[in-house]
Amino acid sequence: MRIEKHPILNFPQDRKIIFFTFNGTLVQGYEGDTVASALYALGILKLSESIILKRPRGLYCSIGNCSSCHMIVDGVPNVKTCITLLKEGMVVKTQTNKGEINAL
């Protein structure tokens, strides 16, 4: 599920492939992807779930205004993955609760 051609935007075909871990599985995206867009392109539509009713949440606004894409990234909870650029070796996990504060 990736846009290959667009009448206005240019998508370079020679982008660098980046490997990262999602819920314990090694997956890949492209340089310039956000975490959420890379997962969406892989067919992963559920990024989180509602706290009380446990309803699935996915990519919604793509500009960081909502909380539908909050995930745990490299151990940090509540990361807005729709605006977080993908990096080599990232560890991304589905967030199913409010997240916890880690004392340093």
Neighbours of 33 (CB within 10 A): 19
Reference 87, options 71, 74, 72; nearest CA is: 74
CA dist 21 and 63 (Å) reads 23
Structural domains in the chain, CATH included, are: 17-94 (3.10.20.440)
pLDDT at 1: 63
Do the beta carbons of residue 102 and residue 75 sit within 8 Å?
Answer: yes
Do the beta carbons of residue 60 and residue 66 sit within 8 Å?
Answer: yes
pLDDT digits 0-9 by tens, 35-50: 999 999 999 988 887 7
38 phi/psi in degrees, rounded to 5: -65, -45
State percent of the chain over pLDDT 90.
43
Q: Which of 1-5, 25-29, 75-79, 92-96 has the highest mean pLDDT?
A: 25-29
